[in-house]
């Protein structure tokens, strides 16, 4: 831990070493990459093995069914793939900007789930048929009374839930010992 003096004549204060920021960002990047890889692999497997006919895994509670979606969650914003792609790029930029200041590892993990989920669906929108920036997101997990979804969607929900819990419990993205 480093000890710094803010101004001449002021008391010394401890600052968080560069190490905590590195660990938080490392957590973010590792989680995001794992989510992207698992999401991409699961979608590839779904495309090879599933069809539009539901396959029961746990009765009607959990089924696997191949669908595609040109919109966002709950099939909103259909045919707005370019807009959704642009919003995804903006969100990635915002996460990247925010990541520069985090020192909390749990915040890094939460943002990693968010970044991984956004990138997983963005990859589909950019590279899948019908053509560039008009691609449809591959969905394949079906629950009763819920739209079909994928692991990228699940990752985004995990992130949103974690961030809500962190905010509710007043867990800051930066330690209170951080130097501004």
Catalytically active residues are: 139, 153
Largest interatomic CA distance in the chain: 74
Per residue in 36-46, is it b (16+ CB within 10 Å) or e — as a string? beebbebbeeb
Handedness of CA 48, 50, 51, 52 (dihedral sign): negative
The two structure tokens encoding residue 19: 């190490």
State how far the Cα of 151 lies from the Cα of 120, in Å rounded to an integer: 8
């Amino acid at each position: 831990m480093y000890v710094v003096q803010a101004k001449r004549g002021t008391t010394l204060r401890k600052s968080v070493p560069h190490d905590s920021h590195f660990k938080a960002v490392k957590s973010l990047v590792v989680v995001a990459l794992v989510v992207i890889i698992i999401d991409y692999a699961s979608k590839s497997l779904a495309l090879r093995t599933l069809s539009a006919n539901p396959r029961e895994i746990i009765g009607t509670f959990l089924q696997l069914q191949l669908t595609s979606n040109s919109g966002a969650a709950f099939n909103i914003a259909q045919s707005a793939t370019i807009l959704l792609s642009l919003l995804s790029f903006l969100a990635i930029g915002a996460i990247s900007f925010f990541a520069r200041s985090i020192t909390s590892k749990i915040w890094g993990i939460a943002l990693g789930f968010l970044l991984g989920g956004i990138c997983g669906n963005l990859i589909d929108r950019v590279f899948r048929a019908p053509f560039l920036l008009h691609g449809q997101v591959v969905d394949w997990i079906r629950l009763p009374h819920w739209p079909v979804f994928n692991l990228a969607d699940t990752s985004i929900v995990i992130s949103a839930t974690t961030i809500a819990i962190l905010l509710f419990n007043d867990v800051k993205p930066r330690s209170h010992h951080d130097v501004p």
